[in-house]
Structure 1
Amino acid sequence: MKFNHGRFRSLRRQLAALLAVMLLCGVVSAAEPWAAERIDAASSAKEEPPQSWLLKWSDPAQAAELRGTLVIRRQAEAAVDVVRPAEASADVEAWLLRLRSTPGVEYVYPNGRVHALELSAAQQADDSPPAEAAYGEASALTAAAAKAAAASDPELAKQSYLKQIGALAAWKTVREQTALTIAIVDTGIDLDHPDLKKNLVPGINLIDTDTPPEDNNGHGTSVAGVIAASGNNGIGVSGILWKAKLMPIKALDHNGDGTEQDLGEAILYAVRKQAKIVVLSVGLYRYSPYMQDIVNYAESKGVLLVAAAGNDGQTLGSMAAVKYPAAYSTVLAVGGVKADSSPDLRSNPGTELDLSAAWNVYTTALGGSYKKEEGTSMAAPQVAAAAALIWARYPKLKTYQVRELLRQTTRNIGESGFDNRTGYGLLQIDKALSTPLIADGFEPNDTRGTAAFLPLNKQISAVLNTGKDIDWYTVEAPYDGKLTMKYQSLTESGAAIPPIRLLHYVNGVQKNTYTTKLASGNAEFTVKKGTQKIGVQFMNSDNGTRQPYLLDSSFIMKPDAYESNNQTYEAFALSPRSQTVVGNFHQKADRDWYAITFKQSGTLRLALEGNTARIDPGLAVQRAGQSLRTYDEESEGQAEISPTLTVTPGKYYIRVHNAISSEASPVIGQYTLKINYVPKYDDPNEPNNQYYEGLSIRSGTEYVGVIDSSTDVDWFQLRLTRASQIDLQVFNVPSGKVMQVIAYDKKQQQLFSQKTGSTGKLDVKNKRLPAGVYYFKLTANEPFDKQYYRFKVTVKTAFASAPGIAEQQLPASEAGGNEARRMFKVEDPAVESSGEPFAKERLLVQ
């Protein structure tokens, strides 16, 4: 999700409308055109802070002062500087180009916006049971809680999800965790809430460092209550942890908004302060190399990150995807389920999902109160609390082992095993506390036929138990592309590292192998869409070492059929017609250019949409030699549609890119560009709207034209130097249109008329006309300019004085007049029996 462009565009439109009203009312003088600019500039300053960038040094020792660059903040652990141009008037593109070409700079990435995963009013639904059922459930819940542990919280009966996820049963084993700190990165926490304040430890406000991390939104307070509202204290509700150490880190403002840098800084702060678990009920659809670095750093320090998957499953349908940071492979991604334990369709699905928890909760709220809340924002803290209890029960477990134990002990509520809707299943805290961790939960998977399913973009842990052991996994490639398997040995420090081989099979046929003698390695396999079998084995089957390992999978799409087309000079040439183009963004900052050379005028309308919310369609059109016009009004998962554009003969460029970020990373998904081109035919005979403007035509020549308005009339003029016989044709008339031809003499006296009718054509045969000037008036019942009509007059025969033919001699003033209206036919009866083949009509070759 980029900086909530939809909301700010809407706000700008509202401001523009307000300004228009003010102009009409005289509040702002229309004589001062700059007044609107002042208002817009002032509002923009409040809406959007100046853009900043995240600059990563590949080696912190190379960090140096950069010309024309202001360093706003420095994050030593990540070797990242938050920067912006020193001068507000600087050429940003040139500045970025200079920075990215600086030795030692790994990347310069926009510091994008993030948002708390709150539900809109349209996304909310009452999933509560009916009152009678709720009463019975509440009584049973209170009794169960009392039996599990003497919890005295009066609102406990409203927390039915505690039973659903096994928390009540878990309280029989453990219900406190004060040996570690749980950091809540959110909008802050109500620091004086009576059900929370005893479980709080000092935190930080990154929005305003001079003030405490007080919640002025409510989201963070609700998250905190799910984890550790004080249990058995005689007031309010109970968190999953009765006693805990919660660290409030305010990285989001009163609107729930923040930046990637704030989010990264919050995680780094938590790591510095020895937090063991970080809860992230925030999300965006944009992958960020900066956030990936922060996630990797936290993992290296043994800190577990837990994040919400997102709440757009129903709104975006098949385009919904697990949001970042939940989508990073080592982050526990949590979805939501209904009160009846069925998947909530509003929860974002995807291969990155680990497990699910209750969508609906009853928890703490601002001002010392309580409220119902819902969404994956409330599911994630349930899993975080479960992880804290696991560490209370099994304090020596590693971070990756806690993730595996949570997956292994879920209750399957969807398809057997893993599924994109619920991950590995529904959180069961009691089972996680009573079931020992299986070192390799994917066994038995020693054959390709028993291969375990390995979701894309997710890290798992497993073990090679003997030299002859081989672990097989099934990976589904969504498209043709490159599958990367990242292997990481968990060999203890100082121990020998056995060489490892990775195998790639498709339909029983070995396609490739990869070997590493190092502690880690990346195996890259070129794949076709479909099922891949990946094997992991020792190179030496006599190896007697037990080898635990981590395995990550990632995927990059094969370049589309139109590559390389990343620059205007590489633009892929398309024919000038309506068509559909399907492409992808397979590389960083991918821009796809297309070129169309139009040979005639017309209208052009473009529609661009992706099949995943990780694509925010960005569209631009440019006539060769002119400036680029961009269209980026919509947000992720929404189609971008251009206005209807008028094009004239010439070359046009179309640019397509993922506007989710100026440096957008590769995306697994496709875009569809629909090009609707309607040619507009210009009438080559204009002006010919009056008879005296009629185009002079020649026999046998085909003329084309359009009727481009309801008042348009096309006149044509024919001169006959002698009496002749003609054929007249009108054809190729658009379907549904009716054309009429009216013939006139030079005095504008009508000679004949005929219509095309439903056939779209007419034929007038063997009309005899004396020498003179004639006019043909063409009209239509409706205008048309998307297709030419065709008009042709053929002068076939001229009549000369000859036996059997008596040409009537008309006065000069009447030549071609009345006699033409009598079809110019005066015959000598004697000719009928003359036997001369051409006595009536002598054909003259012209």
Structure 2
Amino acid sequence: MKKILLACLLVLCSCSVARIAETEPNDDFNHATEIKAKQKTEIIGFLKDKNDVDIYKVTIPKTSKDEENTEKNLSITLAPATGIDMGFMVFNAKYDFIKGINDSPAGEKENLMNLGVKEGDIYFLRFQGLFSASAVIKSTSGYTVILEIQDKANIEREPNDKKVKAASLKLNMEITGFFNPQKIWNIGGNYSDEEDWYRIEVAKGDSILDFDISGVPFVDSAMSVYDENDYKLVEIDNYGDGQGESYHYLGVKGPAYYTLLIKAKNNSGSFTVPYTLRTNFRSYAGNSEREPNDNRSIASEISTKVIGDPGNLISGYINPAGDQDWYKIRLTGRKHIMHVKTESAENLDIVMKICDEMGDVLKTINNMGKEATETISNMGIIPDKTYYLVIADDSGKNSNARDPYKTTITFNPYDKGKEFEPNNKEADAELLEVGSKIAGYLAPREDVDCFKLNVYSEVSLKCSVTGVPGIRIVMEMLYPDGQSKILTSENPGKMLEGVFKLPAGEDCILKLRGADSRESNVRDEYVLTVSQN
């Protein structure tokens, strides 16, 4: 028996809640049940048969005196009858589709959170059941809809599931949103991905921008950042369910805008627990990386004003997995010796490389293992020449989006008493004069230090090198005819001396290295002395 309900309105005096029953027929837009929404409105309706569609024309009330505060958010909750699968769609006053929801199993609630609306505007809500051929409709197959209107402050505004509909995101503000729905139910019954897009305007200046998304239980989130040319700068997906995501030190220059895409993976979602999106925007001080800096063409330029200042560490993040951070270093004036120390963050095995201006590797440092500090010693810097420092995780599989590594770079003017790396190859050997001393490090592992000797007349030389803890030093003299003489210290840390005869007017190469390629010491220098015997 067809049951037609007459419209009724019961206003509860104790609070601003309206309870409204549908009025049949309301199967199309022209006959929609009209609702003057309150702050909270309850709608009661029935599905009279499998093909029944119920449409409501909802007018958002005008309550604000200030024209700038007329934008509100509307949340919609549909509670179907037990065992009934229902969904709903939202349209604007021109009947344009806005969004559709059909996430939950039969008999469970459907929710749309934070739909952006404006006071005085009209919206249409279309409800229907999704029935199998054998389903039975009972006269008790009723449903309830709850509409709640909220202020929009610091809350996302749906629909923002496309870049062209991106919600404005104010800098240094927090905003809350929902991974809701899990999928968008479209006209025709197909589904598309639910995404939250935000637009960030940068007025001017050279700045740094951080993003942090809080975790939501049972939701695996991801985010991507795009520039105004739709170029994807980065995609972040480091953590699993309930852990959120972070991206720090994005370099931005105004005037420009950037867009941020947030989404839940694997059809996960939540309409009960919101995520919180935080931004941190500040001027670039030169003491950090500026993402993206994954290759030499976009390397972060390190200000020499902070290099070597103990209070100004250069910090960066290995994020996402596989990230490489490139830093550009260029000095003027005179030769310098550079020392680099990088303190690792949790879960990382830091590897550092020094590259020349073409990106070719001059030296690789990977001594200490996971979560340990890596050090580069006595790297020679030639003035007016470009070098690159590259910092990464050795495996390329680990990342840490929340804890930065910390790098200190110091320069000392070069003098002849210090080695000048790289000097691992015979072609790079430093010229060593008879009667001189030179200090250096046998680090990283497999390091070889080469020195060139050339005497005017045949001479016998005594070469001595102080001991280095943890290393059995090997001293090798390589002669022009290909012959060599090799000496090895008896124990780690013990001084080594040798006497070598050198021919007149020809280059001989003296090499120092560890007896075991695994041995190295970045803390203790050796001192090599060459004197006439």
Q: TM-score higher than 0.5 here? A: no
Rg: which structure is higher?
1
Task: Choose between structure 1 and 2: higher strand proportion.
Answer: 2
Normalised TM-score (structure 2):
0.33
Task: Choose between structure 1 and 2: higher helix proportion.
Answer: 1
Q: Which has the higher contact order (CA 8 A, sep 6+)?
A: 2
Normalised TM-score (structure 1):
0.23
